[in-house]
């Protein structure tokens, strides 16, 4: 399923019974963060608590986007799962590292 937000596209690419691979593209910022958080909550409440975010298409992230990622991580962990970040672009990777969130999230190249 693909959803278009103001600045972000969320596409649930594949998954199994309890996990989902979610491709993001665009900007994860103050405009798109609330809808992103809601979509992640829906996925977790639907029984998929192990989440992998394919962030190759994310071109920008701000503090609201970081907060949304942390919110998603919290929701997944509360359901007994995880939220992992994959394929970060250089700008997003730099922000994650600068904020030391690479110590909070499992990040995969």
Statement: residue 29 has pLDDT above 80: yes
The pTM (predicted TM-score) of the whole model is: 0.90
User: Mind listing the domains of the chain with CATH numbers?
Assistant: 2-108 (3.30.750.24)
**Angle subtended at Cα 105 by Cα 45 and Cα 41, rounded to the nearest 5 degrees:** 15
- Residue of 97 and 4 predicted with greater confidence: 97
Neighbours of 90 (CB within 10 A): 7
Q: Check residue 17 and give its pLDDT.
A: 78
Q: Any idea which residue has 């970081």 for tokens?
A: 66
Phi and psi at 108, nearest 5°, equal -120, 140
């Amino acid at each position: 399923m693909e959803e278009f937000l103001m600045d972000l596209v969320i596409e649930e690419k594949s998954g199994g019974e309890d996990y989902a691979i979610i491709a993001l593209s665009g900007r994860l910022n103050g405009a798109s963060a609330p809808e992103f958080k809601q979509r992640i909550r829906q996925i977790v409440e639907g029984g998929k608590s192990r989440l992998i975010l394919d962030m190759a298409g994310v071109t920008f992230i701000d503090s609201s986007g970081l907060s949304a990622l942390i919110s998603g991580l919290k929701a997944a962990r509360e359901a007994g799962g995880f939220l992992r970040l994959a394929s970060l672009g250089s700008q997003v990777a730099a922000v994650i590292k600068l904020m030391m969130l690479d110590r909070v999230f499992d990040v995969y190249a």
